[in-house]
Amino acid sequence: MFNQPTFKQDLVSWFDKNQREMPWRETTNPYYIWLSEVMLQQTQVKTVIDYYHRFIQRFPTVSELSDAHEDEVLKYWEGLGYYSRARNFHTAIKDVHQNYNDQVPNVPETFGALKGVGPYTQAAVMSIAFDLPLATVDGNVFRVWSRLNNDTRDTKLQTTRKAYESELQPYVQSDAGTFNQAMMELGALVCTPKNALCMFCPVQEHCEAFYNGTVEALPVKSTKVKKKHIKQHVYVIKNNKNEVLIEKRMQKLLNNMWEFPMYEAESNQDINRTLNTNIEFSTSPIYSLKHQFTHITWDIEVYLATEIIDASNIKLPEQMTWMHLEDKEAYNFPVSMTKIYKFIAQHT
């Protein structure tokens, strides 16, 4: 492993001149920094920026977010996906409001005990907001550090994460937030997964993988588990009041969000069983789409009721309601259902 004293200096100097402009880099407010880190999980920077601005405009303080209803919080998160992030963040903010006088804790162990705060978020917020000596290890850092050291350890293993955190510790004893952001920025802009820009790398002289010709082979990751595909049938039903039937999800995935009634194709349940009626639908789907989660993919087929339904003839279960199409913004829809909504609004 290299130990050149100029490594950190070279990296930080490059970062000072080349870092991208991001609104959360213009603040020292730990609440805003924390929010940005949560939003950036599994999501690209360019997507997050607008959501970040809208969110802090509506919930500018810990107190105001704590007091907000979960449905409104999810509405401002709508489209970002991974909604458990928003729920966990909201729960943690309530904890900060109730137990820490609206002040984000600056003790790593206390902050790390909050809902949804894992090792990466803990290190990122504590180092960037409070300059505490914690090393962040995300996908970018895994890639940069493994290449710098020509390291073939499996980056999917927790033991590797722990080792990287320990090895990076000497570099975060001062200016921790700047160093951590510089490492992540290098991975995002230069030390990319494919076609790394080694000729423009500010720490090329410190990189063992560059000199060994192994850059493209690193980092080493164990084989991904193949995603499970689930075929889903979505039913679009309109009534004589020009409303469509929607349902609040009770399942853990996308819990409490709204959808057009959806059932797994291989299950014995369908919309007619739920409503205890006999509605006929198009024989072939009017619209199809795929929606990917971390571990599963939904293959969705959308079927349209062939007749307008008299709403007075159907007793809806508690989790269902009729919705005017123009009232969609009052409900929290996941991305897949928003796509279906747009198709329905344009084609039916």
Q: What is the pLDDT of residues 179-197, one digit of tens each?
A: 999 999 999 999 999 999 9
What's the pLDDT at 3?
55
Report the C-alpha gap between 5 and 243 in whole angstroms.
67
Scanning the structure block, which residue is given the tokens 């209803």? 69
What's the pLDDT at 269?
85
**Exposure on the CB side of residue 333, measured as CA atoms within 13 A:** 19
- Average pLDDT over the chain reads 95
Superfamily (CATH H level) for 228-347? Nucleoside Triphosphate Pyrophosphohydrolase (3.90.79.10)
Q: Which backbone phi and psi does 49 adopt, to 5 degrees?
A: -55, -50
As annotated, the active-site residues are: 37
Report the C-alpha gap between 64 and 73 in whole angstroms.
11
Determine the average pLDDT of the residues in 20-24.
97
Whole-structure pTM value:
0.83
Report percent pLDDT > 90 for the chain.
92
The pLDDT-based confidence of 199 (bands split at 50, 70, 90) is: very high
Domain boundaries, the chain: 7-217, 228-347
Record the tokens describing residue 53, joined without a space: 């601005």
Q: Decide yes or no: CATH 1.10.340.30 for domain 7-217.
A: yes
pLDDT at 51 over 80: yes
Determine the average pLDDT of the residues in 108-137.
98
Task: For strands 296-304 and 228-236, give the pairing.
Answer: parallel
Report the C-alpha gap between 329 and 40 in whole angstroms.
24
> Are the C-beta atoms of 83 and 251 separated by less than 8 Å?
no
What's the pLDDT at 313?
86
